[in-house]
């Protein structure tokens, strides 16, 4: 069964290394037959949060918000690719995510993290777990991490070295976990309307 998955990535840096992990997961899910779209916060360029999508009168939200809201509502699940900035989350990805709320509800999310160091963004992944749960998503227990990212993935997102082989071995279970929850959520939404 093909799933509609949004891969959300949020680095605004000039020399973005995390885009390698974003390409890796996009390619991985497409290889499984899923309909996957990369949502790049830098390319979308939303302003710092002043007004959430839902706070605009109907039909008056900026076009970028309206388009993205539709994509979020149409998705079966989400994959957040996050770097670790000083033990925390990337502001670009957090800003993009915070523009929406109800649009995220009742769908699963997975987290893939990275860093220049050996911990592979694990602290950012931990921080995202609570944030995404609070925003109405079910966060799957499987995670993957790339670190040091420059020794794990090539510029085009292909696994390299021992770290790349390890990431490649971890991906199928990670993808299966997200797929199981997407199927479960879709079946439940078809069986019974969400309570709010």
Q: Which two tokens stand for residue 125?
A: 């992944």
Q: Give the mean model confidence (pLDDT) for residues 168-182.
A: 98
- The whole-number pLDDT of residue 107 equals 97
Per residue in 123-164, pLDDT (tens digit) is 999 999 999 999 999 999 999 999 999 999 999 999 999 999
Q: How far is CA 61 from the centre of its chain?
A: 23
**What's the pLDDT at 85?**
87
Average pLDDT, the chain: 96
Q: Between 122-134 and 91-98, two packed helices, what is the crossing angle to 10 degrees?
A: 10
Do 65 and 57 meet the contact criterion of CB atoms below 8 Å apart?
no
Question: Could you give the C-alpha distances from 33 to 5, 25, 30, 73, 94, in angstroms and in order?
Answer: 11, 13, 5, 20, 29
3-state secondary structure of 120: coil
177: left (phi over 0), alpha (psi -120 to 50) or beta: alpha
Q: Taking residues 155-177, report their average pLDDT.
A: 97
Q: Which CATH architecture has domain 4-191?
A: 3-Layer(aba) Sandwich (3.40)
The two structure tokens encoding residue 159: 């696994």
CA distance 11 to 47: 14
Residue length of the chain: 196
Q: What is the mean pLDDT of residues 10-30?
A: 96
pLDDT over threshold 80, residue 1: no
Q: Which of 77, 65, 75 is nearest to 137 (CA)?
A: 77
60: tokens are 């008056």
Q: State mean pLDDT over 33-59.
A: 97
Q: At what angle do helices 19-31 and 161-191 cross, to 10 degrees?
A: 60
pLDDT of residue 196: 86
- The 3 state secondary structure assigned to 48-67 is CCCCCHHHCCCCCCCHHHHH
Its pTM stands at: 0.96
Summarize pLDDT for 65-110 with one digit per residue, the tens: 999 999 999 999 999 999 998 888 999 999 999 999 999 999 999 9
* Phi then psi dihedrals of residue 88, to 5 deg: -130, -170
């Amino acid at each position: 069964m093909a799933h509609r998955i949004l891969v959300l990535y949020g680095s605004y840096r000039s020399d973005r290394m995390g885009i390698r992990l974003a390409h890796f997961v996009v390619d991985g899910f497409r290889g499984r037959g899923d309909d996957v779209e990369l949502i790049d916060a830098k390319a979308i360029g939303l302003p710092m949060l002043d007004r959430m999508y839902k706070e605009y009168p109907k039909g008056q939200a900026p076009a970028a918000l309206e388009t993205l809201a539709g994509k979020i509502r149409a998705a079966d699940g989400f994959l957040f690719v996050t770097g670790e900035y000083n033990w925390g989350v990337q502001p670009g990805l957090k800003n993009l995510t915070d523009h929406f709320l109800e649009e995220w509800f009742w769908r699963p999310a997975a987290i893939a993290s990275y860093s220049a160091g050996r911990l592979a963004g694990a602290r950012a992944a931990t921080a995202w777990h609570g944030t995404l749960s609070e925003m109405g998503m079910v966060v799957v227990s499987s995670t993957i991490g790339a670190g040091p990212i420059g020794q794990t993935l090539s510029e085009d997102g292909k696994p390299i070295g021992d770290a790349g082989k390890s990431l490649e071995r971890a991906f199928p279970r990670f993808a299966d976990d997200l797929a199981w929850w997407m199927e479960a959520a879709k079946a439940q939404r078809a069986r019974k309307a969400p309570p709010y």
